[in-house]
């Protein structure tokens, strides 16, 4: 039987730009959810389940909505994916569950799985309905470094099994990129913090403003906890490394998104000429955000459109919303008048490599660099036995998330190089299961 528990959610300052963004997929009404749920065919060997990295039993949770069992529906989702509340908003469902729905084969509108998932989880996660019961406390203590989706999923899974967990997060808020870096038209920071509070309500302790390696020594973590999980994500935005880059008017994409979401003093003047350098989903998010705020946004990408790593449907949305796209151009300098950015100088490029040819200046007031994030190699080196691959990703056993250190596990962007929230959740959950097995083995 479900009970009600309210979780304390930290307040955010008002006046933030992200408050101007309407939700792009608002909560369904009960009638709309019932009608949509009744369209599901409850397929045998449903392809939507196979397409979900966390393997949510989609037909099962949808059927529970159709029969009015909302608590049961939420339980079905959360048992596979503790962050089903945020995944319902931020998952690229077009290329996952919704893209796999059988209705697509018949030219029919696929089931709105993400919106139904949000409908099912809303009351539990934000309303304090308790549908998951934690087991009694058992021996074992696990420290988690970083408070993003991988650590939250790992810690929540462990806590439900009775294991003591402590998350150390350097930032002021938990949630990692869910709180700081998701485009606000997909999910607000406030909603991300609601989900963090939900995970805390499962018995997870979250300590924010704690820098592991500075405030808490790595040796002490390894000696006082039975296992350590690294959910450290990626480092700061990569730089263009061209002349003129340093100074005002040039900002990394995740830093920009964070300011839109959290900084009440940050404004984007209407008509701002904004160039976003990059071709991935973060570049597209930043350009769409700026366009929605009234800027004239252009994505500058060094290869052809069909080579962009961002999802095609996201590129289409951006173009439909008025974002311009300039391809096969490579930045060679930021042009300034005094301190003020006035243009980005670009050279023609083929397959991403600048070619000889006339350089041109594209007028700009703001340049957003969205070419990836640095890795945290130095930090990882503090953990003995933990190694990186050639692309500076933490090496783990993919089945367990265990690193080269027998008691250190890892998951999320620091391991996969930067995938979706749902991938981080799956990796955190699977590492938790491996930690539980190891704790049981040790008795
Ligand atoms: Fe329902 Fe579509 Fe999944 Fe079939 S594939 S179970 S119709 S959501």
Last residue of one domain, picked from the residues 369, 391, 420: 369
Q: Tell me how far apart the alpha carbons of residues 219 and 113 are, in angstroms, rounded to a whole number.
A: 45
Cα→Cα distances 91→64, 212, 219, 232, Å: 21, 30, 37, 20
Closest CA to 360 of 333, 325, 340: 333
Three-state DSSP state, 333? strand
**Cβ < 6 Å from ligand 1: which residues?**
40-43, 46-48, 58-59, 101-103, 111, 113
The Å distance, Cα 128 to ligand 1 centre, comes to 29
Q: Which atom of ligand 1 is nearest to the CA of 102?
A: 5
For each of the chain's 443 residues, which pLDDT tens digit applies?
Answer: 455 554 567 778 777 888 887 777 789 999 999 999 999 999 999 999 999 999 999 999 999 999 999 999 999 999 999 999 999 999 999 999 999 999 999 999 999 999 999 999 999 998 888 899 999 999 999 999 999 999 999 999 999 999 999 999 999 999 999 998 888 888 999 999 999 999 999 999 999 999 999 999 999 999 999 999 999 999 888 999 999 999 999 999 999 988 888 888 888 999 999 999 999 999 999 999 999 999 999 999 999 999 999 999 999 999 999 999 999 999 999 999 999 999 999 999 998 888 888 999 999 999 999 998 877 888 999 999 999 998 889 999 999 999 999 999 999 999 999 999 999 999 999 999 999 999 998 76
Q: Are residues 275 and 315 in the same domain?
A: yes
CB 431 within 8 A of CB 229: yes
Q: Is residue 13 part of a domain?
A: no
Query: Does one domain contain both 281 and 386?
Result: no
Looking at 105, 130, 155, the residue that finishes a domain is 130
Residue 363 sits in the same domain as residue 380 = no
In a domain, 7, yes or no: no
- Is 305 inside a domain boundary? yes
Q: Residue 389's pLDDT is what? A: 93
Cα-to-centroid distance, 420 and ligand 1 (Å): 22
pTM for the full model? Answer: 0.89
Query: Has residue 17 been placed in a domain?
Result: no
pLDDT reported for residue 3: 54
CA–CA gap between residue 367 and residue 380 (Å, rounded): 31
Together in a domain, 293 and 360: yes
Which residue from 36, 56, 59 has its CB within 8 A of the most atoms of ligand 1, so it is best to mutate? 59
How remote is the CA of residue 42 from the centroid of ligand 1, in Å?
6
Q: 111 C-alpha vs ligand 1 centroid, how far in Å?
A: 7
Number of folded domains that form the chain: 3
Out of 369, 386, 418, a domain closes at 369
- Predicted local confidence at residue 1, as pLDDT: 45
12 within domain boundaries:
no
Range of the domain at 301: 250-369
Task: Looking at the structure, tell me whether residues 212 and 259 fall in a common domain.
Answer: no
């Amino acid at each position: 039987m479900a009970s009600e528990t309210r979780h304390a959610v930290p307040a955010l300052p008002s006046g933030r730009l992200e408050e101007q963004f309407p939700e792009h997929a608002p909560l369904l009404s009960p009638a709309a959810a019932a009608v949509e749920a009744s369209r599901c065919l409850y397929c045998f060997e449903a392809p939507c389940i196979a397409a979900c990295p966390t393997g949510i039993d989609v037909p099962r949770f949808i059927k529970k909505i159709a029969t009015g069992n909302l608590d049961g529906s939420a339980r079905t989702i959360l048992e596979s994916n503790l962050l089903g509340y945020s995944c319902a908003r931020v998952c690229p469902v077009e290329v996952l569950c919704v893209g796999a729905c059988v209705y697509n084969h018949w030219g029919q509108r696929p089931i709105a799985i993400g919106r139904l998932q949000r409908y099912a989880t809303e009351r539990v996660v934000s309303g304090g309905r308790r549908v998951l019961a934690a087991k009694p406390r058992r021996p074992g203590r696990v420290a988690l470094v970083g408070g993003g989706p991988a650590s939250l999923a790992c810690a929540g899974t462990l806590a439900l099994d009775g294991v003591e967990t402590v998350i150390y997060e350097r930032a002021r808020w938990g949630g990692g990129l869910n709180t700081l870096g998701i485009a606000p038209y997909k999910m607000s920071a406030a909603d991300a913090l609601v989900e963090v509070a939900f995970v805390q309500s499962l018995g997870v302790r979250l300590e924010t403003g704690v820098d592991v390696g500075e405030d808490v020594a790595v040796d002490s973590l390894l000696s006082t906890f039975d296992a350590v999980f690294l959910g450290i994500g990626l480092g700061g935005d990569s730089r263009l490394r061209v002349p003129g880059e340093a100074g005002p008017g040039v900002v990394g994409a995740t830093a920009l998104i964070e300011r839109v979401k959290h900084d009440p003093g940050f404004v984007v003047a209407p008509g701002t000429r904004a160039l976003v350098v990059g071709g991935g989903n973060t570049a597209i998010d930043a350009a769409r955000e700026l366009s929605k705020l009234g800027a004239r946004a252009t994505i500058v990408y060094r290869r052809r459109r069909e080579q962009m790593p961002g999802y095609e449907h996201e590129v289409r949305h951006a173009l439909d919303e008025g974002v311009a796209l300039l391809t096969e151009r490579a930045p060679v300098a930021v042009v300034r008048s005094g301190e003020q950015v006035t243009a980005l100088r670009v050279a023609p490029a083929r397959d991403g490599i600048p070619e000889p040819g006339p350089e041109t200046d594209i007028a700009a007031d703001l340049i957003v660099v969205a070419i990836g994030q640095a890795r945290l190699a130095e930090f990882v080196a503090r953990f003995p036995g933990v190694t990186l691959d050639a692309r500076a990703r933490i090496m783990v056993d993919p089945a367990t998330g265990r690193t080269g250190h027998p008691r250190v596990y890892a998951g999320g962007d620091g391991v996969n190089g930067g995938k979706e929230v749902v991938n981080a959740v799956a990796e955190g959950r699977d590492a938790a299961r491996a930690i539980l097995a190891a704790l049981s083995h040790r008795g």
